[in-house]
Amino acid sequence: MPILNTHPKPADFPNPDDVPRPVMVYGMTLATGVIELSHHAHRKAQLLLTLRGVFTCEVDSGLWLVPPHCAIWMPGGALHAIKASGPIEGYNVFIDPAMATSLPSTCCTLSVSPLLRELLIRAASFPLEYPEGGHESRLGTLLLDEIEAAPVERLHLPMPRDDRLRRIVEAMMADPADRGTMETWARRAGLSERTLARILARETGMSFGRWRQQLTIMLALQWMAAGASIQSVALDLGYESAGSFVTMFKKVFGTSPGRYMAERRAGAASGGD
């Protein structure tokens, strides 16, 4: 199908469950704009790849960041909402559950190889109801193999259901430089520190410190993918220096943020544009 290149309305997106093909791909590209799709679900599983722009998806009470050259995998039936802004180029593949039995059973963010990227771009040029049994179908089989082999990225933030904790989340995301202690945030939410810790552990499986670190990582990767310097990212996240931010990043990823982003860009470029 043609690439969606004007600001789309929800009705412009084809309903994957109405397309009688086991694998369906389409692309979208916008010079600028905002895409917001409210919570919805479909029978087919979905992989969303972004080449430009940063997408956020809320799935199963979790927030998933999809920076350039990554993709989010969502099993069939998963309730999800999607937001994206700025210059956008992305590709969606929808897969019949019968074809996805060897693919992840839960949501995850995947690192995309140059081959997987090129397969998605090529498949997006096919008609939605392409001829079955030909090279289009064979390419779809190869695409499934590449999705199965894609490594998982650490770009997931479990989201609590409790309204009081949700307000804390919203405040942290609005002002990530606020390095208030757990006691400070509990008091703002009208909770004891112990109650905050108990609810957060029950609903996200994380301690307060681990949860906030994961939020910090997601925001940092999003900003660096958009071109922000390590120094500015560190300051915007409330670190006293770039060095302290780099130390935290190395503990999580085993490498510096500069090298991490350089390797990602090199891997993305190696397949050509």
Give the model confidence (pLDDT) of 153-166 as tens digits: 777 888 888 989 98
Using CA atoms, how far apart are residues 260 and 69, in angstroms rounded to an integer?
13
Query: What pLDDT is recorded for position 144?
Result: 94
Q: Calculate the alpha carbon distances from 222 to 55, 64, 83 in Å.
A: 9, 11, 13
- 234 has a pLDDT exceeding 90: yes
Q: What does DSSP assign to residue 10?
A: G
What is the Cα–Cα distance from 49 to 89, expressed in whole angstroms? 9
Looking at residue 123, what DSSP letter applies? H
Cα(102)–Cα(119) distance, integer angstroms: 19
Q: 196-205, 224-233, 238-247: which range is least confident on average?
A: 224-233
Pick 227 or 190 by higher pLDDT. 190
Nearest-angstrom CA–CA distance, 183 and 186 = 5
Note the pLDDT of residue 3: 62
**Residue 158: predicted pLDDT:** 87
The 10s digit of each residue's pLDDT in 164-219 is 998 898 899 889 999 899 999 999 999 999 999 999 999 999 999 999 998 898 88
The pLDDT of 221-240, averaged and rounded, is 89
pLDDT tops 80 at residue 226? no
Q: Which of 108-112, 240-244, 267-271 has the lowest mean pLDDT?
A: 267-271
Q: Which pLDDT tens digit goes with each residue over 31-41?
A: 766 778 888 89
Confidence at residue 43, expressed as pLDDT on a 0 to 100 scale: 95
Q: In Å, how far are 10, 41, 130, 263 from 267, measured between CA atoms?
A: 33, 32, 31, 6
Q: Stretch 32-53: mean pLDDT, rounded?
A: 85
Predicted local distance difference test score (pLDDT) of residue 238: 93
pLDDT confidence band for 140 (50 / 70 / 90): very high
Quick check: 226 and 169 in contact, CB under 8 A? no
Q: Is the dihedral of CA 72, 77, 79, 84 positive or negative?
A: positive
Q: What pLDDT is attached to residue 236?
A: 95
* Adjacent-strand bridge partners of 65: 56
CA atoms within 13 A on the CB side of 273: 8
Q: What is the mean pLDDT of residues 60-69?
A: 78
53-57, 96-100, 118-122: segment of lowest average pLDDT: 53-57
Q: Do 257 and 246 meet the contact criterion of CB atoms below 8 Å apart?
A: yes
Structure confidence at residue 33 (pLDDT): 65
Instruction: Annotate 76-119 with three-state secondary structure.
Output: CCCCEEEEEEEEEEEEEEEECHHHCCCCCCCCEEEECCHHHHHH
pLDDT-based confidence at residue 136 (cuts at 50, 70, 90) = very high
Work out the number of other CB atoms within 10 angstroms of the CB of residue 154.
Answer: 13
Mean pLDDT of the chain: 86
Instruction: Say yes or no to pLDDT of 272 above 60.
Output: no
Q: Half-sphere exposure (CA, 13 Å, Cβ side) for 254?
A: 2
Give 146's strand partners: none
Q: Give the whole-number percent of the chain exceeding pLDDT 70.
A: 90
